[in-house]
Amino acid sequence: MIIIIPLGGIGKRFSDLGYNDPKPLVKVLGKEIIFWVLDNLRLKKKDKLYIVYNNQLEKFSFEEHFAKYPNINFLKLDHNTHGPVETIYKLTSILEKNSKNEGLLILDGDTFYKKNIINLIDKNVHTVFYHKTKIKEPIFSYVKLNKNKIYKIVEKKKISNNANTGAYFFNNIKKFNAYSKSALKKDKRIYVSDIYNLLLKNKETIKGIEIKEKEFDCLGTPKQVIDFSKKNKVEKKRFCFDLDNTLVTYPKVKDDYNTVKPIIKNIKFLNFLHSQGHYIIIYTARRMRTHNGNIKKVKKEIENLTLNQLKLFKIRYDELILGKPYANFYIDDLSINPIENLNTKLGYYETKDYLTRNFNEVIVGEKFTIKKSSNINKLNSEINFLQKIPSKIKKFFPKIKETGKNFYKMDTVDGLKLSYLLVNNLLTKEDLTNLFKKLNFIHKSKTLRSQNLINIYDNYSNKFNLRTKNLRKYKKKYLNKLNEYLKDYENFNKGKVGVIHGDPVLSNIIKKNNSDLIFLDPRGSLGKKFTIFGDINYDFAKIYQSLTGYEYIILDKKIDQAYLSELKNHFEKLVLDNKQIDNIETLKILTSSLYFTLINFHNKKYTSKFLDIACKLI
């Protein structure tokens, strides 16, 4: 049997997100996508395997990656093809000359099988492998069957729930070539399914073999890659991290290692790998140049300090190696630059963002991030906000690169969410001061010409009553009290107009490596009306929501009351000293109302904790 894996493209959906590696070489759990396909392919002795690939892959030394697969044959395309059949035919037209009417199996280069599909093939019968799908969007080719015999096959039109998996068998390569040659003369963009349609017209039998969902995996999109990496058990591996300028900075005072600072982004990734059971080695060349490679002297001077720093910065590891040879350059085939996105370079992805709503899908790439949403109105409000805010505050928000009906594409922001710093006791008073100053600048960046244009109180009483109807049985007394206060807040016009983010909880704010802040997911509306304006006290209440334990609860972490109390006191002082709010009781009341309104949007297991905080704030 001849087996062909066509790689006619380099993976636009990956390159659109800024992945530097071409799709076949994108790593998933430490292994390239194409190797997942090959390692799960059970060839027989007489089988011949070919990969036909896009010539753009040559600049990545593509064939050299396959040193441990000596029996693979390659064909490099000399130009881009128009479709999959043309790609395959470039090779099969050459192979036919020496073929003995062999069967042809075509496999997608991003799908692998956990069962031996080659053994399922009857070499005398054309065969298509399919699976049952519940996905409504017509993104596959689909088949209709009668007693395991296919009588209809259509590309990108959902005629059934039987979607092809990307494995196609033709019982004779010469027959495939004959049909392909004829079809390509009319349209070079044709799919493999189009060749099967020609076979059906000539009354040839095509067998359908069902593959269960658990028997195969597709790694065709960034989302599928990320989902796969999170759901599957990981083969335990060894990771070796350099210490200086990877996990900690170089000394702020020359040669004084007491003055290094943690590089939290990389420490976070290391700790994630360690939590997954991987073996973590840390090595360092500290003082190796000073002591001319004398490891005994190195250990005597630097070992205790290094151990204490690893403990102080909460770096989890299995082995520490002092005495890395000092050099100006290290050249290694397994090296990864720590400045790059370690998630995408290695293919290990942490748990999905716990605050991503079920109507949102956020795909983070190396250079770009795509946010999709089924809530089109909300998405449009975000887009309008990001496009229409004053130019002087655009530096505080991600830059939009492209928009569509249900998505927008923006620059990926490299850094850590303030919520991560908070729940790991790494958020400082200085961070809060910086946040307050930035938010204050945003609030004052533009003046509303007429307050009659919007109702800045749309976020309060009406919204509160709408969202808490089903909570009356729990805390009726508290709800009535809050509703009265919110009405008074509006009637006595206690709000202050400004440009507002609308949801600056700490999980929506990223601290970049240079300490700049980027605000994500702005609201951009009041009620059903688009606006960049609102009550600035609403923003302060959202921050206070985080400082009262919101992210701790969502992450199922124990609240550190002493630590939070210190941060809350500092934030309260900032708000009062800058005369942004009349009194802290007002801030607490507004925050309490927020906890009640978010209950219906979160898992029920958090309800009692949210209610507890909300009631204590009143």
Cα separations in angstroms, 215 against 49, 126, 129, 132, 465? 22, 21, 12, 12, 49
By three-state DSSP, how is residue 343 classified?
Answer: helix
Distance CA(90)–CA(11), nearest Å, equals 20
Q: Please check whether residues 48 and 165 belong to one and the same domain.
A: yes
Q: Please check whether residues 117 and 188 belong to one and the same domain.
A: yes
Least confident of 314-318, 413-417, 511-515, 563-567: 511-515
Q: Please check whether residues 194 and 294 belong to one and the same domain.
A: no
Distance CA(108)–CA(118), nearest Å, equals 14
Q: Please check whether residues 178 and 264 belong to one and the same domain.
A: no
Residues in the chain: 618
Arithmetic mean of pLDDT over the chain:
93
Question: Do the domain assignments include residue 212?
Answer: yes
565 burial type by CB count under 10 A (0-12 exposed, 13-18 middle, 19+ buried): exposed
Q: Please check whether residues 269 and 155 belong to one and the same domain.
A: no
Last residue of a domain, one of 296, 323, 346: 346
DSSP lists the bridge partners of residue 209 as 129
pTM of the model: 0.83
CATH number for the domain including 433? 3.90.1200.10
Question: Do the domain assignments include residue 229?
Answer: no
Question: Do the domain assignments include residue 19?
Answer: no
Residue 31 phi/psi, 5° resolution? -130, 140
The sign of the torsion formed by the CA atoms of 349, 354, 355, 360 equals positive
Q: Please check whether residues 305 and 399 belong to one and the same domain.
A: no
pLDDT tens digits, 335-348:
899 988 899 999 99
CATH number for the domain including 127? 3.90.550.10
Question: Do the domain assignments include residue 221?
Answer: no
Q: Is residue 354 very low, low, confident or very high in pLDDT (cuts 50, 70, 90)?
A: very low
The percent of residues above 90 in pLDDT, for the chain, comes to 82
Q: Give the domain range for residue 77.
A: 2-11+29-216
Q: Please check whether residues 244 and 179 belong to one and the same domain.
A: no
pLDDT tens digits, 64-78:
999 999 999 999 999
Distance CA(229)–CA(245), nearest Å, equals 28
Q: Please check whether residues 409 and 547 belong to one and the same domain.
A: yes
The sign of the torsion formed by the CA atoms of 293, 299, 301, 304 equals positive
| pLDDT reading at 233 higher than 90 | no
pLDDT tens digits, 80-134:
899 999 999 999 999 998 888 899 999 999 999 999 999 999 999 999 999 999 9
B/e letters for 239-267, b = 16+ CB within 10 Å, e = fewer, are bebbbbebbbeeeeeeeebeebebbbbbb
Distance CA(1)–CA(124), nearest Å, equals 12
Triad 236, 242, 247: Cα angle to 5° = 95
Note the pLDDT of residue 312: 96
pLDDT tens digits, 127-170:
999 999 998 889 899 999 999 999 999 999 999 999 999 999 99
pLDDT tens digits, 557-590:
999 999 999 999 999 999 999 888 889 999 999 9
Q: Please check whether residues 274 and 337 belong to one and the same domain.
A: yes
Triad 247, 568, 581: Cα angle to 5° = 130
Question: Do the domain assignments include residue 227?
Answer: no
pLDDT tens digits, 41-68:
999 999 999 999 999 999 999 999 999 9
Q: Residue 196: enclosing H or E segment and its boundaries?
A: helix 192-201
Q: Please check whether residues 561 and 447 belong to one and the same domain.
A: yes
Amino acid type, 2 = I
What is the SS3 string spanning 509-526?
EEEECCCCEEECCCCCEE
> If we measure between CA atoms, which residue out of 332, 381, 325, 321 comes closest to residue 501?
381
Q: Please check whether residues 170 and 242 belong to one and the same domain.
A: no
By three-state DSSP, how is residue 10 classified?
Answer: coil
Distance CA(133)–CA(142), nearest Å, equals 10
Inter-residue contact 397 to 512 (CB < 8 Å): no
Question: Do the domain assignments include residue 378?
Answer: yes
Q: Please check whether residues 300 and 207 belong to one and the same domain.
A: no
Triad 132, 137, 139: Cα angle to 5° = 75
Note the helical H segments in 202-347: 222-231, 264-275, 295-312, 342-346
Q: Residue 76: enclosing H or E segment and its boundaries?
A: strand 72-76
pLDDT tens digits, 446-480:
998 876 678 999 989 988 988 888 877 767 889 99
Inter-residue contact 48 to 73 (CB < 8 Å): yes
By three-state DSSP, how is residue 33 classified?
Answer: helix
Distance CA(243)–CA(456), nearest Å, equals 50
Query: Which residue shows structure tokens 């069967």?
Result: 103
473 burial type by CB count under 10 A (0-12 exposed, 13-18 middle, 19+ buried): exposed
Last residue of a domain, one of 346, 369, 392: 346
Note the pLDDT of residue 358: 54
Q: How many domains does the chain have?
A: 3
DSSP conformation letters of 267-284 = HHHHHHHHHTT-EEEEEE
Note the pLDDT of residue 495: 94
Pairing between β-strand 141-146 and β-strand 529-530 as defined by DSSP bridges = unpaired
* Strand residue runs (E) in 88-203: 104-107, 111-113, 126-132, 141-146, 149-155, 162-170
Distance CA(303)–CA(300), nearest Å, equals 6
171 DSSP 8-state letter = S
Question: Do the domain assignments include residue 352?
Answer: no
Last residue of a domain, one of 316, 346, 376: 346
Work out the average pLDDT over 189-203.
Answer: 96
Tokens of 41: 């392919």
Residue 523 phi/psi, 5° resolution? -80, -55
Q: Is residue 355 very low, low, confident or very high in pLDDT (cuts 50, 70, 90)?
A: very low
DSSP lists the bridge partners of residue 3 as 49, 105
Question: Do the domain assignments include residue 190?
Answer: yes
CATH number for the domain including 261? 3.40.50.1000
pLDDT tens digits, 383-438:
999 999 999 999 999 999 999 999 999 999 989 999 999 999 999 999 999 999 99
Distance CA(138)–CA(193), nearest Å, equals 14
Q: How many CB atoms lie within 10 A of CB 290?
A: 14
